Amino acid sequence: MKNWVKILIIAIFILVGLILFLNKKEQPSMLAPIDKGVVANIKKSVDTSNWGEYINSQLGFSIKIPPETQCLDRCGGSKNPLVPVKIFQDNNNNAVYVTPEYYYDYRDEKCEKIEASLASLQAQGKTVKPFLAWKIDIIKVDNLDDIKKFIIEYYPQNCIFRDQKINDNGTYDISIIGDDWTTNGERVNSTCPYEMHYKILYSPEKHKLISVKLPIDYDFFIYNDSPGGLDDYGQEMVKSLKFE
């Protein structure tokens, strides 16, 4: 073997060894403690200390509600940035609506303040989630067959029961899946929503089920100055749902 070839091979081995040595020295830096201050700025915690608790004794559930939320303004003007959150009870149909009290929309060549009403929410909520509002349905169920029947009738076409996971308090989180999803649980062109877009809570003791269709984006939030951009009230509201 020629000398220059030997020299080249030795040089390559030295270079590879140097790279491995440097990488090994740098590995401990990957285990450095995370700067909690940076994380706090990216995801600001939601302050719920001034929230109220809505309790419906007739339907047997409660939920924590923020006093106000970001106002939707489709007019593009400088309207009030925040709007009160309002509750509409529909006890005759075992349902409750949580909604911004009003929003602004451009209609008939002028800006109008559109105020929420039980009648308008009922009309929207027969088939889909009402615009900007949550519809909380309380359903009487006695067994798993009743739950499966409710899912087929209430949720979009192709939605079926997937599984149930027990919580510490004895209730169950019910999940659904599209019967047209793939075998590994991936959605193709199904209308059945992902788990983050609904909440189904079941109490065997109460023989009741709480169902809420959740938005793809956000219905209840406020903007903040952190890099995250907003405080998501919806997740805190969902976590507070419970049977009474």
CA distance 58 to 238: 20
Q: Number of structural domains, the chain?
A: 2
Q: What does the DSSP assignment read for 181-196? A: S-TTS--SS--SPPGG
10 and 103 co-located in one domain: no
pLDDT of residue 33: 42
pLDDT of residue 21: 42
**Amino acid letter, 51:** W
69 and 8 co-located in one domain: no
88, containing H or E segment: strand 82-90
pLDDT of residue 103: 93
pLDDT of residue 167: 93
61 and 15 co-located in one domain: no
The tens place of each residue's pLDDT in the chain, 244 residues long, gives 444 444 444 444 444 444 444 443 333 333 334 444 433 443 457 889 999 999 999 999 999 999 999 998 888 776 678 999 999 999 899 999 999 999 999 888 888 999 999 999 999 987 788 999 999 999 999 999 999 999 999 888 788 999 999 999 999 999 998 887 776 666 666 778 877 889 999 999 999 999 999 988 889 998 877 666 788 899 899 999 999 9
For the record, the structure tokens of 227 come out as 């890099």
128 and 182 co-located in one domain: yes
CA dihedral (38, 40, 167, 132) positive or negative: negative
DSSP state of 73: B
17 and 89 co-located in one domain: no
Domain ranges, residue 57: 41-243
DSSP state of 66: -
146 and 53 co-located in one domain: yes
